[in-house]
Amino acid sequence: MEFSRRAFIGGVAAAIGSGVADAQERVPPEVVAGNVVVVGGGPAGVCAAVAAARNGADVLVVEQGNCLGGMGTQGLVGPFMTCYDKSGEVQIIRGLFDEIVRRMVAIGGAIHPREVRAGTSFAAWHVPGHDHCTPFEPEALKFVLDDLCREAGVKVLYHATFTAPVMEGDRIAGVDVFTKAGPRRILAKMVVDATGDGDVAFRAGVPCELGDPARGGAMQPATMFFRIGNLPEEAVEAVRRQYPKDVLCFKTLLKKAKADGKWHIPRPHINIYRSVKPDEWFVNVSRLNGVNAVDPQSLSDAEEAGRRQVREIMAFFREYVPGAQDVRLLCTASTIGIRESRHVAGEYRLDKDDVISGRVPSDSVFLCSSSIDLHGGKGASGTLYLTIKDGNWYGVPYRCLVPKKVDNLLVAGRCVSASSVAAAAIRVMPPCMAMGEAAGTAAALALRENVSPRALDAAALVSRLRAQGVFLG
Ligand SMILES: Cc1cc2nc3c(=O)[nH]c(=O)nc-3n(C[C@H](O)[C@H](O)[C@H](O)COP(=O)(O)OP(=O)(O)OC[C@H]3O[C@@H](n4cnc5c(N)ncnc54)[C@H](O)[C@@H]3O)c2cc1C
């Protein structure tokens, strides 16, 4: 059965939204349909949508926010972590990720990673795992993702929140969403869960782990990202010269503030990443432990607590950092930054050893060198940071994108099938985009071959991805 992009199907919406007395709710019972529906328009979701559309699918993205880019736009998260191999010699994440970066560079909204080195202000002076990051402007990312989707013929439904899967036995046949016009049903032949939290897979009955069961369900802390301006790089460098033993920024000054009772955040250093624009920085400092992103009250409390921490951090800059007295708060993120929630169980579960020992399974859909960066992995304020031991990269197999139990569903992004520790490596945006590209391509190929994603010939997928410019060694 072919679906039109906008089919008006009477009855379905009536069935799911019946009994509404309020005249304002009596809107046309529109059912939007596509043959691939991507839930979540973050880095993974956009790449899934564009890849599926370029491979011939009719694609609709359902996004609860008002723009594409997820954490990269709404969450103000940046820069893109490395897309190079461990040696810093070879760019290993290419494909759609690289196309997005180049388009942003063309409009002055990013610096290509080949020009960005570890140990500089663009990398918050970090060295391991931070070579060849990509500084970018969130507004540029919004524009570029809009363009990519429009050009590929991808339809986007904003302000639409996924509520439930439409199940036919073990097969997902669509999703129910909530919109300003009330509930709507979206029918689809393939669904990609790119919600970050695995909302679709979880509700469809796929087994999921919340956080790390080995650590009592602990989840990485949340962070309210924000941007500041009017902080000259020279002022920061002067502080770094004054306290040369502070490998990371402002450690000594933070100790002073703590002793004065003016620092309560469980993070012992300041992580500021220089933006593309001079004197503007992305601040990755706030730290909220114990946030459960799939508990609405916990999430709500975190938004307020995050903004409270922003005020404390701003006061610290003004009072303790020489040369920062005129620093300006430009904006806080429109959503709290969530590093971890559900991990969906797939046909393969990526584990710590796969990452550390540089394994490359034959069905790898992308290569990656991202380090394990487990915030809270060494006590409340400590981070477990592990880089690859053997080789320069590891491969992420297609089977991680194929959830157990449910057919016609793929998963991409932060919630992909991985242990909590392994997810702490592949959760960053370049791998999420690469996963999205693989999931979208797989969805389109599975449609074309009329098979479920589980039965898709992985070798055919790998060869299609290579043809699209994905680097697979
Ligand atoms: C504090 C913090 C710091 C980080 N630092 C970096 C960094 O420096 N560099 C880096 O590369 N990465 C970093 N990351 C990781 C990275 O930003 C995320 O892991 C990545 O964006 C995940 O991509 P995604 O597409 O899976 O999910 P997201 O970016 O979370 O996108 C998911 C999208 O789905 C939508 N959505 C969710 N649920 C629903 C629903 N029910 N219905 C409809 N829409 C829905 C959301 O609105 C969102 O647009 C950081 C993350 C955090 C939180």
Radius of gyration of the chain (CA): 22
Distances (CA, A) of 156 to 39, 62, 174, 385: 10, 6, 16, 37
Q: What is the pLDDT of residues 98-117, one digit of tens each?
A: 999 999 999 999 999 999 99
What pLDDT does residue 66 have?
98
What pLDDT does residue 383 have?
87
The per-residue DSSP string of 406-441 comes to -BSEEE-STTSSB-HHHHHHHTSHHHHHHHHHHHHH
Among 156, 281, 429, name the best residue to mutate to test ligand 1's pocket (greatest count of ligand atoms within 8 A of Cβ).
Answer: 429
Residue 232 lies in a domain: yes
Residue 172 lies in a domain: no
For residue 427, count CB atoms less than 10 angstroms from its CB and return exposed for 0-12, middle for 13-18, buried for 19 or more.
Answer: buried
Residue 269 lies in a domain: yes
Q: What is the pLDDT of residues 139-186, one digit of tens each?
A: 999 999 999 999 999 999 999 999 999 999 999 999 999 999 999 999
Pairing, β 190-193 against β 409-411: parallel
Among 428, 433, 435, name the best residue to mutate to test ligand 1's pocket (greatest count of ligand atoms within 8 A of Cβ).
Answer: 428
Residue 127 lies in a domain: no
Q: What average pLDDT does the segment 9-29 reach?
A: 42
- The residue whose CA is least distant from atom 7 of ligand 1 is 78
- The residue whose CA is least distant from atom 21 of ligand 1 is 71
What pLDDT does residue 29 have?
52
- How far is C-alpha 412 from the geometric centre of its chain's CA atoms? 9
Q: What average pLDDT does the segment 364-381 reach?
A: 91
Among 32, 77, 145, 219, name the best residue to mutate to test ligand 1's pocket (greatest count of ligand atoms within 8 A of Cβ).
Answer: 77
Ligand 1 atom with minimal separation from the 68 CA: 49
Confidence at 246, pLDDT banded by 50, 70, 90: confident
CA of 7 to the centre of ligand 1 (A): 31
Strand, coil or helix: what is 70? helix
Confidence at 23, pLDDT banded by 50, 70, 90: very low
What pLDDT does residue 21 have?
45
Quick check: 312 and 106 in contact, CB under 8 A?
no
- Does 58 have pLDDT greater than 90? yes
What pLDDT does residue 378 have?
84
Residue 241 lies in a domain: yes
- The residue whose CA is least distant from atom 38 of ligand 1 is 195
- Does 20 have pLDDT greater than 50? no
Confidence at 133, pLDDT banded by 50, 70, 90: very high
- The residue whose CA is least distant from atom 19 of ligand 1 is 427
CA of 304 to the centre of ligand 1 (A): 19
- The residue whose CA is least distant from atom 15 of ligand 1 is 428
- Does 7 have pLDDT greater than 60? no
- Does 450 have pLDDT greater than 60? yes
What pLDDT does residue 381 have?
72
Residue 299 lies in a domain: yes
Cβ–ligand 1 contact at 161 (below 6 Å): yes
What pLDDT does residue 249 have?
80
Confidence at 260, pLDDT banded by 50, 70, 90: very high
CA of 70 to the centre of ligand 1 (A): 5
Domain that holds residue 323: 226-332
Ligand 1 atom with minimal separation from the 337 CA: 53
Pull the structure tokens for residue 143: 């524009």
| Number of separate domains in the chain | 1
What pLDDT does residue 30 have?
59
In this prediction the pTM is 0.94
Residues ≥6 apart with Cβ < 8 Å to 24: none
Other beta carbons within 10 Å of 232: 14
Q: What average pLDDT does the segment 334-363 reach?
A: 98
Q: Average per-residue pLDDT in the chain?
A: 93
The proportion of the chain whose per-residue pLDDT surpasses 90, expressed as a percent, equals 88
Cβ–ligand 1 contact at 77 (below 6 Å): yes
Element holding 101 (H helix, E strand): helix 95-106
- Does 386 have pLDDT greater than 50? yes
What pLDDT does residue 245 have?
86
Residue 236 lies in a domain: yes
Cβ–ligand 1 contact at 395 (below 6 Å): no
Q: What average pLDDT does the segment 416-441 reach?
A: 98
Residue 138 lies in a domain: no
Confidence at 28, pLDDT banded by 50, 70, 90: very low
- The residue whose CA is least distant from atom 48 of ligand 1 is 70
Among 71, 104, 272, 343, name the best residue to mutate to test ligand 1's pocket (greatest count of ligand atoms within 8 A of Cβ).
Answer: 71
- Does 13 have pLDDT greater than 50? no
